[in-house]
Homo-oligomer: A and B are copies of this chain.
Amino acid sequence: MTVRLVLATRNPHKVQELEQILQATGLDVSLEPMPGSAPDVVEDGLTFSQNAAKKARSAAAATGLPAVADDSGLCVDALNGMPGVLSARWAGSGKDDLANLRLVLDQVSDVPDSHLGAQFVCAAALSVPGGPDTVVEGQVRGRLVREPRGEGGFGYDPIFLPDGSDRTTAEMAAEEKHAISHRGLAFRALVPVLRDLSAQGA
Give me the interface of A with B, judged by CB distance under 8 Å: 42-44, 46, 78-82, 84, 86, 89-93, 102-103, 106-107, 109-112, 115
Contacts and interface: CB of A to CB of B under 8 A. Distances in A.
Indicate how many identical chains form the complex: 2
Contacts of A112: 44
Nearest to A83: B107
A55 to B, nearest CB: 13
A107 B103 CA distance: 13
Top 4 nearest A-B pairs (CB, nearest first) are: A92-B106, A80-B80, A44-B110, A80-B81
Given A44-B112, A90-B107, 12 more contacts: A43-B110, A44-B110, A44-B111, A46-B78, A79-B80, A80-B80, A86-B107, A89-B106, A89-B107, A89-B110, A92-B106, A93-B109
A43 B110 CA distance: 7
A106 B79 CA distance: 17
